[in-house]
Structure 1
Amino acid sequence: MAEPFIPLSSSMLFLTVISLFLASALFPGVEGNIGVNYGTVANNLPPTSQVAHFLLESTVINRVKLYDANPDILKAFAHTGIAVTVTVPNDLIPRLTKLSFAQQWVEDNVRPYTPTTSIVRILVGNEVITTADKSLIGNLVPAMQTLHTALVAASLDRRIQVSTPHSLGVLSNSSPPSTGKFLLGYDVHVMKPLLSFLRATNSPFMINPYPFFGCSSDTLDYALFRPNAGVLDGNTGLLYTSMLDAQLDAVFSAMKVLGFDDLEIVIAETGWPSMGDSTQVGVDANVAAEYNGNLMRHVSSGAGTPLMPNRTFETYIFALFNEDLKPGPTSERNFGLFRQDMTPVYDIGILRPTARSSIPNNQTPIPSKTPPLNPKPRSSKGKRWCLPKTGADESTLQRNVDYVCGLGLDCEPIQQGGDCFLPNTVRAHAAFAMNAYYQSTGKNESDCDFDQTGAITDVDPSYGKCQY
């Protein structure tokens, strides 16, 4: 049964505008580069409207990638401003080469939801070349071309890109990175036309690199961005201390061989499981937090890779939720950042401060071994702040603001033009006002009660110029 469409509140709509601002304030350099794969191979996921609300109000994630074009999900993300990527399933690729079918697919799966839902990219299939299905592979580029033609006819081609994600199996060689090449035969007959299409339509090349699947006990530090001796590429003299960098540079080298080193590369999938089988190396929540935390900082730092310096990479972490119906080893069902009740499996800093402070004590996220992305400490020993509880009634929170500001405490920061005016929501302004009162008194627990709407946290909610 489809979940009912619940329109988002005006405060949620406003959060759309400042989503990038907050991401930048919390994680300098992120600037909307970090997205998440929203898989649904599970029987216990929360309603789609609740997921959209959660991502918008409680996290700094503002990109999601879907494995289909689920209408309930597309409706749920309407008016959020969250960038959505949808996927045409592999089995439809041969039919998509017919313009009439492509146009109907756009009419059914895209036009009803845009522009209220920000659909920014359509992916034709997933890891098609490594399926070894000749029908799918032979029709892949024609299907992409025809779909683009359908978008042109619908005047959507400037808003929506067309691409397709690949596994690292498209490479015949990847070590050392400078020798990266696409599979022989596919390189000229499939990859070159595909890359030409991407260049002509200003679309990115999308790859699914997983250091998790390429590492052993000997290379775990190399896979997790930990300090390590590194691996030297004898051809270039470049030293690699990150397996992800080596994988990306192997892809870059393969593209360069065909003359397409100018294309943007997007990391469509990467992640690390929090649980696995006893035979798997480095599989637990702390290691997963370490990989994903370091990943976020690395791809957003602007450092790039040895062959692609000074770049950031749009990156989609796999996955939003653990998916209990996925087949295969235990790890396949445990790549999620969040549980089904939307509490974090572990903390990598993507929750907004107010959301992090309201996690129930019995569901405290497992701390990451990685340092926080924000250069300012997210937690200060001995310091405490007072913030609204999740779900606190907005009318009560507004009374809290009126009460505190009526006492004569400095509320200028949450007035128009103040450093804490944005986001212009009751909850955000209440957070500042309630904390101002708490800090000005004896910092007793009772000073943060506010009719049971306040909670004390040791996580500094400051962002940008807004200092608590």
Structure 2
Amino acid sequence: MTRIIHHIISYHMSMLWLCFCGVYVPLAIYMWTLSCTGGLIASNFELFIRYVAVGNEPFLSTYNGSFLGTTLPALQNIHSALKKAGLDTRVKVTVPLNADVYESPTNLPSDGNFRSDIQDLMLSIVKFLSDNGAPFTVNIYPFISLYTTPNFPLGFAFFNNSSSTLTDGGKTYDNVFDANHDTLVWALQKNGYGNLSIVIGEIGWPTDGDMNANLNYAQQFNQGFMNNVIAGKGTPMRPTPVDAYLFSLLDEDAKSIQPGNFERHWGLFYIDGQPKYALSLGTLNSNGLVPARGVTYLSQQWCIMSPSASLDDPQVASSVSYACARADCTSLGYGTSCGDLNAQGNISYAFNSYYQQNNQLESACLFPNNLSVVTSNDPSTGTCKFRIMIQSQTVTSGVEGGRGFSISSFVTFVGVFLSAFL
């Protein structure tokens, strides 16, 4: 069974919406919520929450081992809280792990095992999951394989590939997702946990911020994955249907871009609730994704570089740096949606991003030396969209890096979105 979407939702009303519609969701929590975790679930959502996810990818190399000593105790503590509330038989505790906690020295799935530097810890976590009937949750991103591996065969990242295959014994792999998944299967099997269930905590493809992050590739990848799910197709080692969450619901324009500029563009929807592309989910709605209704926007105006300003003005570079540091300029760069803009266009994009981020405040389009001006003429061109911010209220997301917007608009969006799946 595939869960249609993965996105951290902290709004109480939105959770009620999901429960009302019969949609099962994972619940992500912070450690400081331990004392109320069981009570929250028991009093509100126990029928629809299957998993509690403790942290996310705690063993990433960028964390420098910060969570090696705390992840397993955190799992044990949350499990104890659920057990105390009488929920441990229905709600399982898991930890979404990055796909590099296991590896294969030959790239063949059958040579897979857990990384030697964390193998003892991984086996302790796997034993905990197995003992408590919880799944092994892993985030698999073929896009990351393409992004980080020189000369990675492009076709092998997708599900309709016929140009690149990998043969492992009597099994043939035509895409990297299946190969990655089965590397984990072999790692579990070699260590005595061959029957442990696997959940794909995150899978998706970004639409901007890199030459391989675009609407066409994202649609191709996600539709290929959904086609396999709809057909009930698994992997060579586990031919039963994959249990997975698509990542993610919305773009996150304040997310860290340390891994790459693409990090802010994983959404199936733009931040205004408009779908980026058609995606069939095997429902009666052939288009699958439906736009949010009742979304209101700010005025049809943009902040651009003044036609009378000079590119040689000494304030240009610092102004662009200031704007991009406080807004989102990840659509600028080689191969991105706005990669073909000229110098003036790049500057205008940065100015407008800052202007919209600040809800079109007059002061947000007053860059030094009269570099900027407000215009009612849409500067968008080709694939590059100069976006207008949606109306917002003084309500902010409880998710770190999240953006603030209207609860009513969000609940409307969730309700309309779910109509595609019911």
TM-score range, shorter chain: 0.5 to 0.7
Deviations 1:56-91 (A, max 9, x none): xxxxxxxxxx2x7553533443422111211123xx
1:74 aligns with 2:15: yes
Unaligned runs of 5+ in 1: 1-31, 39-65, 96-100, 361-462, 464-468
Report the alpha carbon displacement of residue 330 of structure 1 after superposing the two structures with TM: 3.4
Which residue pairs with 2:386 in the alignment?
Answer: none
1:141 aligns with 2:72: yes
- The number of aligned residues is 285
CA contact (8 A) 1:163 1:198 kept: yes
Deviations 1:8-65 (A, max 9, x none): xxxxxxxxxxxxxxxxxxxxxxxx5132122xxxxxxxxxxxxxxxxxxxxxxxxxxx
- The TM-score with structure 2 as length reference comes to 0.61
1:304 aligns with 2:234: yes
- The TM-score with structure 1 as length reference comes to 0.56
Which residue pairs with 1:42 in the alignment?
Answer: none
Instruction: Mark the CA change 1:138 to 1:358 in structure 2 (over 3 Å): closer, same or farther.
Output: closer
Matches within 5 A, 1:147-296: 147-173=78-104, 175-188=107-120, 190-215=121-146, 219-234=153-168, 236-277=169-210, 280-281=211-212, 283-296=213-226
Deviations 1:148-203 (A, max 9, x none): 12211111112211101111121243611111111114212x11121111112211
Instruction: Mark the CA change 1:342 to 1:225 in structure 2 (over 3 Å): closer, same or farther.
Output: same
Deviations 1:295-340 (A, max 9, x none): 11224433321222x2111111111111111232432121111123
CA contact (8 A) 2:38 2:82 kept: yes
Instruction: Mark the CA change 1:212 to 1:357 in structure 2 (over 3 Å): closer, same or farther.
Output: closer
Give RMSD over aligned pairs. 2.8
Which residue pairs with 1:33 in the alignment?
Answer: 2
CA contact (8 A) 1:69 1:88 kept: no
Which residue pairs with 1:114 in the alignment?
Answer: 45
Report the alpha carbon displacement of residue 146 of structure 1 after superposing the two structures with TM: 2.3
Instruction: Mark the CA change 1:239 to 1:165 in structure 2 (over 3 Å): closer, same or farther.
Output: same
Report the alpha carbon displacement of residue 286 of structure 1 after superposing the two structures with TM: 1.5
Structure 2: which amino acid aligns with 1:288? A
Instruction: Mark the CA change 1:302 to 1:184 in structure 2 (over 3 Å): closer, same or farther.
Output: same
Structure 1: which amino acid aligns with 2:108? P
CA distance in structure 2 between the aligned counterparts of 1:274 and 1:230, rounded to whole angstroms: 24
CA distance in structure 2 between the aligned counterparts of 1:324 and 1:81, rounded to whole angstroms: 29
CA contact (8 A) 2:251 2:268 kept: yes
CA distance in structure 2 between the aligned counterparts of 1:357 and 1:269, rounded to whole angstroms: 18
CA distance in structure 2 between the aligned counterparts of 1:253 and 1:358, rounded to whole angstroms: 39
Instruction: Mark the CA change 1:151 to 1:359 in structure 2 (over 3 Å): closer, same or farther.
Output: closer
Which residue pairs with 1:324 in the alignment?
Answer: 253
Matches within 5 A, 1:2-13: none
CA distance in structure 2 between the aligned counterparts of 1:319 and 1:346, rounded to whole angstroms: 14
Report the alpha carbon displacement of residue 285 of structure 1 after superposing the two structures with TM: 0.7
Instruction: Mark the CA change 1:262 to 1:320 in structure 2 (over 3 Å): closer, same or farther.
Output: same
Structure 2: which amino acid aligns with 1:284? N
Same amino acid, percent of matched pairs: 28
